[in-house]
Structure 1
Amino acid sequence: MSDRLVPGDAAPNFTLPNAAGGSTSLKDFADSLVVVYFYPAASTPACTQQACDFRDNLASLKSAGYQVVGISPDPVAKLATFAAAQDLPFPLLADEDHAVAEAYAAWGEKKNYGRTYQGLIRSTIVVDGAGKVAVAQYNVRATGHVAKLRRDLGIDKA
């Protein structure tokens, strides 16, 4: 696992396939603020809760100048099904080899029920318009995370 990103670091660029059938790059958001959130698996209860929280808060995030992108190690077909089932209006990207998650330090050792393994660490990185990390949050909880992020960013609920 890479060292965790901290505010001021250059955000690693990426281009990944998206659930809509195309590809999305960090460069697509140049001059914008973008919330890049990493989640372990589409259609699981916690990941669905987190994605729906982003969906339900998207208008206020956008009005404050933020775009949202979700990244998981799932294949594109699973992401497309997830996006359609939950009516997710932001890009979901497939990082099947977890190279982008590794570059963002969102892939590493996890422990669950006494078992240690390598996996995706639920994380959120906010990238500013200059491509620098503005906020880096690791090991976030799915429930309540978007509300906490909004508070951290100073965004009032619309």
Structure 2
Amino acid sequence: MSERLQPGDPAPDFTLPDADGNEVSLASHKGRKVIVYFYPAALTPGCTKQACDFTDNLELLADAGYDVIGVSPDKPEKLAKFREKENLKVTLVGDPEKSVLEAYGAYGEKKLYGKVVTGVIRSTVVVDEEGKVEHAFYNVKATGHVAKIIKDLGI
């Protein structure tokens, strides 16, 4: 199982395709803070709620100096459907190989309906302007999580 990141750790760089197939890299956001959130699957109720919450608060976060990138194991085509169906404004990238999910400690064993399964651990990592982990939240809830981040970051 992959190690969880801690504040002060260098955030693993990544380049992944977005919903349009364009490459999005963490390095291209240097000089801005980035909220990287990991979710199990596009077009599912909890993940939809979370993505809509980020979209609804995107302007507030951007004004405070934060970019938002959502990462799931979905392919770009599914991300595009998700974005269109829910009118999402947040940047969504796909990690079908799960290499970035693993690098961030967001893939591994978790409990689902009382059973231990291997999958995406709903997580959020806040990366500072220098590319270091500022906050790492694991096993977060889909509902109310964005409000909690905004409160925790003092926005």
Q: For this structure pair, what is the TM-score category when the shorter chain's length is used for normalisation?
A: over 0.9
| 1:115 Cα deviation after fit | 2.6
Q: Counterpart in 2 of 1:22?
A: 22
Gap runs ≥5 in structure 1:
none
Normalized against structure 1, the TM-score is what? Answer: 0.96
Is the CA contact (8 Å cut-off) linking 2:51 and 2:90 kept in structure 1?
no
Q: Counterpart in 1 of 2:109?
A: 109
Give the match's secondary structure for 2:124.
strand
What's the % identity of the aligned pairs? 58
| 1:113 Cα deviation after fit | 2.5
Give the match's secondary structure for 2:134.
strand
Take 2:114 and 2:5, find their aligned partners in 1: how far apart are those partners?
27
- Give the alignment's Cα RMSD to 1 decimal: 0.8
Take 2:114 and 2:138, find their aligned partners in 1: how far apart are those partners?
21
CA deviation map 1:29-51 (0-9, x unaligned): 01110000000000100000000
Take 2:68 and 2:113, find their aligned partners in 1: how far apart are those partners?
31
Total equivalences in the alignment: 155
| 1:90 Cα deviation after fit | 2.3
Q: Counterpart in 2 of 1:77?
A: 77
Q: 1:62 corresponds to which letter in structure 2?
A: A
Q: Counterpart in 1 of 2:33?
A: 33
Take 2:141 and 2:79, find their aligned partners in 1: how far apart are those partners?
21
Give the match's secondary structure for 1:5.
coil
Q: 1:129 corresponds to which letter in structure 2?
A: E
Take 1:113 and 1:137, find their aligned partners in 2: how far apart are those partners?
21
| 1:114 Cα deviation after fit | 3.4
Q: 2:86 corresponds to which letter in structure 1?
A: Q
Take 1:17 and 1:83, find their aligned partners in 2: how far apart are those partners?
14
